[in-house]
């Protein structure tokens, strides 16, 4: 646990929170400032800042839990869709620097999350960009 990390304290039950799911590695809680009613955050109990630092055990276990909660939300809310979001770094909108995944129920025409303005690639640019990433893999 990281001493100054609020999500470490929430995930490990040091601070009280509304929990929708818990196992030995994770806690899923209700977001305190939800984008929509039913907005859930899945937190690993172990501290890691973001996706880039994610532990392999957490990586392997997170997606099936997110799927399970998303299906429960769909069944209960009868929502039309669900966003699964995950921000890494301040520039990407991360405000709490303990890895977490957002699950947000969505309804037709709710306009909760504005889509981004799209760009386009010049001829061959997408391939060049892909290759520049690939050389680090
Ligand atoms: P992000 O911007 O991806 O880092 O998301 C952080 C999220 O944590 C936001 O949606 C906040 O509303 C939520 N949040 C911050 N503090 C708490 C808290 N004490 N309990 C529940 N959710 C929180
Ligand atoms: Zn933490």
Residues within 6 Å of ligand 1 by CB: 6, 10, 17, 29, 31-33, 41, 87, 93-96
Nearest atom in ligand 1 to the alpha carbon of residue 17 is: 20
Q: Which CATH superfamily is domain 6-109 in?
A: HIT-like (3.30.428.10)
Distance 11 CA to ligand 2 centre (A): 8
11 phi-psi bin (left φ>0, alpha ψ -120 to 50, beta other): alpha
pLDDT averaged per 10 residues, the chain (length 137): 95 97 98 96 98 97 98 98 97 97 97 90 96 96
pTM of the model: 0.95
The pLDDT assigned to 113 comes to 86
Nearest atom in ligand 1 to the alpha carbon of residue 30 is: 21
Question: Given 47, 98, 100, 102, which residue is catalytic?
Answer: 100
Nearest atom in ligand 1 to the alpha carbon of residue 87 is: 3
In the structure encoding, which two tokens stand for residue 43, read together? Answer: 């937190």
Distance 30 CA to ligand 1 centre (A): 9
Beta carbons within 8 Å of 105's beta carbon, 6+ residues apart: 36, 37, 38, 39, 73, 74, 77, 79, 81, 82
């Amino acid at each position: 646990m990281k001493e100054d990390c609020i999500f470490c304290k929430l995930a490990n039950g040091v601070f009280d929170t509304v929990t929708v799911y818990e196992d030995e590695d994770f806690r899923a809680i209700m977001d305190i400032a939800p984008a929509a009613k039913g907005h859930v955050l899945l937190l690993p109990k172990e501290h890691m800042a973001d996706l880039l630092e994610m532990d392999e055990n957490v990586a392997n276990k997170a997606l099936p839990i997110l799927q399970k909660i998303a299906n429960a939300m769909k069944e209960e809310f009868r929502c039309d869709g669900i966003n699964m979001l995950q921000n890494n770094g301040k520039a990407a909108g991360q405000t709490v620097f303990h890895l977490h995944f957002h699950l947000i129920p969505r309804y037709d025409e709710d306009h909760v999350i504005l889509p981004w303005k799209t760009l386009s690639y010049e001829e061959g640019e997408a391939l060049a960009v892909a290759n520049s990433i690939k050389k680090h893999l």
